[in-house]
Structure formats: C-alpha cells, structure tokens
Amino acid sequence: MKRKKQIVRNIILIALTALLFLWQGGYHLTPERVFRSAEKAEWLGPAAEVMEIGSWDDGCLCLVALEQKGFYTVSAKPCLGIFWKYTNEHWNGYFPVEGQTRGWIWEEMIFGQTKEPDAAEVVCVVEGWKGQENGWQEVGRYTIPVGENGFFSMVLDSSIPRSKDRTMKEIICKNAAGEVIAVNKQ
C-alpha cells in the first residue's frame, strides 16, 4: 500500500509542477486568455469584446479590443500543441483614435476605427516610399467594410511585398449607398 501512495503522490506533484510551469511560462489554452493576460499586464481593459483580425504567415494570430478612445492589439502564437503564448514577434500596442477616423498599415494588415455613424465601408489609400523617385507615391486603394462598432480590418494579399516604408495617406468613408461622407487625411 505504501508504494501506491508514493505513486499517487508523485503523479500529483508532477501535475502540479507542470501546471506551475505552464502558468509561469505564460501558456494559455485559448488566444483570448493570452489577450486577457496581456491587457492585465499593460493595465488596459477589461474590454467587452475581443476580436480576431487575422493571422500572419508564421501562425501568429492578431487580436484586438476596442475602447472609447482607441483600440489595442495583441499577438498570440500557438505552441506546444494545444497552448497559446503571447509573442512580440509582431508589434502590438495601443492605437489612439483622436479624430473621427484613423487607420494604420502594419506589416500585411490594414486596420482602424471610424466614429462616422453612417459609415458602411472605407477606402484606405496607402502610399509607399519610392527610392528611385525619391518621394511618396500611392501604391494601393483598399475597400474595407466597417463593422457595427466602427472597426475595420483587412489582411493584405501575400502577393503584395511586405515593406516598412508604407503609410496610410487618407481614409475615405462611404455610406451604404456608396456616397462619400468623409475624407480623413492621415
């Protein structure tokens, strides 16, 4: 009987040690738990809603939560089979929306928020640095639907080369009829 008690005790100790390792290592069972942990660490939130806006080629998932004055993003990466972990391989942070509409281009994602009540879609005009011409030139226009909460996002096609030399020139807000209701220069 003594041997069986030792085996049970050792199994319990191994399980507790594994749980402590996972807890201290920042491993979570869902990407949303990663987000909640990160927002506590950054003294943000708690957000009422967490949305997934896309994933990168390396498997990292981008999550976002809205606030009254902006939104913040967190990246979660799958690891050890069933767990997720916070990653800083992709820049995360708080994005303030001071005006009516604000947008960013980040690696291969475009995202932003509008406070225009009638906005059904936005057209994001992206410009890039052209070294040959030594100036900024328009590289694309992307039409993105706007959610009920005013948030919009889009993952760019993988055929578009990734560049850090891109920026949002302007955002054109349109209503459901396709009429321009606002133009916001960045």
C-alpha of 114 from chain center: 16
Q: What is the pLDDT of residue 8?
A: 93
Query: In this predicted model, what pLDDT tens digit does every residue of 31-68 receive, in sequence order?
Result: 888 888 887 777 777 777 788 777 777 778 888 887 77
Nearest Cα neighbor of 138 from 173, 168, 180 is 168
> How many CB atoms neighbour CB 75 within 10 A?
23
pLDDT confidence band for 158 (50 / 70 / 90): low
Report the mean per-residue pLDDT for the chain.
Answer: 81
* 107: amino acid identity, one letter: E
* Cα gap 128→77, rounded to integer Å: 29
Greater confidence (54 vs 160) lies with 54
Query: In this predicted model, what pLDDT tens digit does every residue of 67-113 receive, in sequence order?
Result: 777 788 888 888 888 888 888 766 667 777 777 888 888 777 888 88
pTM of the model: 0.72
